[in-house]
Amino acid sequence: MTDAVVLVGGKGTRLGKLTNEVPKPMISFHGEPFLEYLLIQIAVLPFERIFLIGGYLIDQIRERFDGRYINGVEVLVIEDLDCTGTLNALRFLPCSLSEKFYLFNGDTYFNFTDITSEVERFFVNTENCSIYAVFVDDSSRYGLLDVDKNLVVGFHEKSSGAQQGYINSGISVLHRGVVEKAIELGGKSLERDLYPALSKQKSLLLIKSAIKNVYDFGVPEAHENFPSFLSNTISGGFLLCDRDNTLNSDPGYVYDPDQSELCIENILAIKKLCSDRRLIVVSNQSGIERGYFSEKQSNIFYRYLKLKLLRQNLTSWGYYYCPHKPDKLSNPICQCRKPNIGLFNQVSRCWNVEKNKSIMAGDSGTDRMFAIRAGIDFCYFNCK
């Protein structure tokens, strides 16, 4: 298992008034906080958990994210009680943190360009820590990395001119043992203490960008341009897809990964539909409220499924589910059980679903009705 850690402690002082009452990652774009969009990008990989760690106005972040699941990944909020630096903050992570973990900047947006190769990398174990680097034509807003083959051997301060070169994307892969040792030695900051020390020891690997669009909105002009950049990224065609008996075989209220397999013929067709659409899973999971399995178990099952799909070169961008029983008397207000379109509305909060390019795929009349009500085409699948 591998966890992700996101540093959400940035005060965003360069943004002035914007961050007086709101922590920087909670600044809203198109009605949702920045962090929501970032976590969607992070949760594409099959992480088990995402830890959000910060101090400044952390209660707002806790209220919104703690205990949620995003694309099957559990999100947990941790308070940095010291606020003395990005390295020191990591001491507050639980000892159950995975030995290898990914670290993300909570104020830097990115896209993985080649998720298949990211997934391969995800399962490769090396002893060394590494930094994801991005090649830029104009590094004036960033500090350049000194690169020697596959190693980062030095760091430069922000340059004044427009130089070409590799910059730190804000993503790194770290090892708990290395981090603990650096904290023991009195290190406080990743950028000033840990990374320079590792690069001196020639043990900081460079990962050449399988990512693009590194976007730090920490300065006012970047903040102004971000909404239109984001619109492009979140708009397009979607394949909303039922789960049970469409993607995986369904023995009934399935939650045990050993009891279900991929519907492999369906997967081939779904892959075709996803050549120009993003896959998002929308599922009725009344087994949760019936007490057959927990929300956590439902998400664990989905994570197995997500991983199997990734291995088929199919990326799932979300898992949206209704946990409620269909009984209208006990749940008069549930809008999320298909064929109601609450799940469609949930998806639409962070994605601009272009209806004329989007399709619902499923095995039942309920899915078909959902498609009609949402105003998108329907494609019938059945797992045989």
Name the active-site residue from 3, 107, 193, 242. 242
* Burial grade of 262 (CB within 10 A; 0-12, 13-18, 19 or more): middle
Please choose, out of 30-38, 232-240, 246-254, 337-345, the segment that lies near Zn ion by the rule CB under 5 A.
Answer: 337-345
Tell me how far, at minimum, the Cβ of 381 lies from Mg ion, in Å: 9
Q: Of 132, 86, 84, 125, nearest to 111 (Cα)?
A: 132
Please choose, out of 70-78, 86-94, 218-226, 238-246, the segment that lies near Mg ion by the rule CB under 5 A.
Answer: 238-246
Q: How many helices (DSSP H) and strands (DSSP E) are in the chain?
A: 10, 21
As a whole number of angstroms, the longest Cα–Cα distance in the chain is: 67
Q: For residues 130 and 206, what is the distance between their CA atoms, to the nearest angstrom? A: 6
Q: Rule CB under 5 A: is residue 245 a binding residue for Mg ion? A: yes
Residue 193 binds which entry of Zn ion, Mg ion, none, with Cβ cut-offs from 5 to 8 Å by kind?
Answer: none
Applying CB under 5 A, among 306, 324, 325, 338 the residue interacting with Zn ion is 324
Q: State the number of CA atoms in the 13 A half-sphere of 134 facing the CB.
A: 24
Q: Rule CB under 5 A: is residue 244 a binding residue for Mg ion? A: yes
- Toward Zn ion, which CB reaches closer, 174 or 334? 334
Q: Rule CB under 5 A: is residue 286 a binding residue for Mg ion? A: no
- Toward Mg ion, which CB reaches closer, 216 or 242? 242
Please choose, out of 66-74, 145-153, 273-281, 328-336, the segment that lies near Zn ion by the rule CB under 5 A.
Answer: 328-336
Q: For residues 371 and 348, what is the distance between their CA atoms, to the nearest angstrom? A: 14
Please list every residue from 235 through 274 that binds Zn ion, using CB under 5 A: none
Pairing mode, strands 32-33 and 49-54:
unpaired
* Residues sharing a CB contact under 8 Å with residue 216, sequence separation 6 or more, in sequence order: 105, 107, 108, 109, 141, 170, 222
Residue 324 binds which entry of Mg ion, Zn ion, none, with Cβ cut-offs from 5 to 8 Å by kind?
Answer: Zn ion
* Residues sharing a CB contact under 8 Å with residue 120, sequence separation 6 or more, in sequence order: none
66 labelled catalytic: no
Q: Of 381, 315, 373, 316, nearest to 344 (Cα)?
A: 373
Residue 337 binds which entry of Mg ion, Zn ion, none, with Cβ cut-offs from 5 to 8 Å by kind?
Answer: Zn ion
Applying CB under 5 A, among 363, 370, 374, 383 the residue interacting with Mg ion is 363
363 labelled catalytic: no
Q: Rule CB under 5 A: is residue 193 a binding residue for Mg ion? A: no
- Toward Zn ion, which CB reaches closer, 247 or 336? 336
DSSP conformation class of 360 = E
- How many Cβ atoms sit within 10 Å of the Cβ of residue 336? 20
Q: Rule CB under 5 A: is residue 282 a binding residue for Zn ion? A: no
Tell me how far, at minimum, the Cβ of 149 lies from Mg ion, in Å: 50
Which H or E run includes 350? helix 342-350
Residue 216 binds which entry of Zn ion, Mg ion, none, with Cβ cut-offs from 5 to 8 Å by kind?
Answer: none
Please choose, out of 31-39, 132-140, 235-243, 329-337, the segment that lies near Mg ion by the rule CB under 5 A.
Answer: 235-243
Residue 244 binds which entry of Mg ion, Zn ion, none, with Cβ cut-offs from 5 to 8 Å by kind?
Answer: Mg ion
Beta-bridged to residue 101, according to DSSP, are: 3, 174
Applying CB under 5 A, among 27, 207, 322, 361 the residue interacting with Zn ion is 322
Q: What are phi and psi of 352, to 5 degrees?
A: -95, 90
3-state secondary structure of 109: strand
Please choose, out of 60-68, 272-280, 315-323, 350-358, the segment that lies near Zn ion by the rule CB under 5 A.
Answer: 315-323
Point out which residues bind Mg ion (CB under 5 A): 242, 244-245, 363
Point out which residues bind Zn ion (CB under 5 A): 322, 324, 334, 336-337
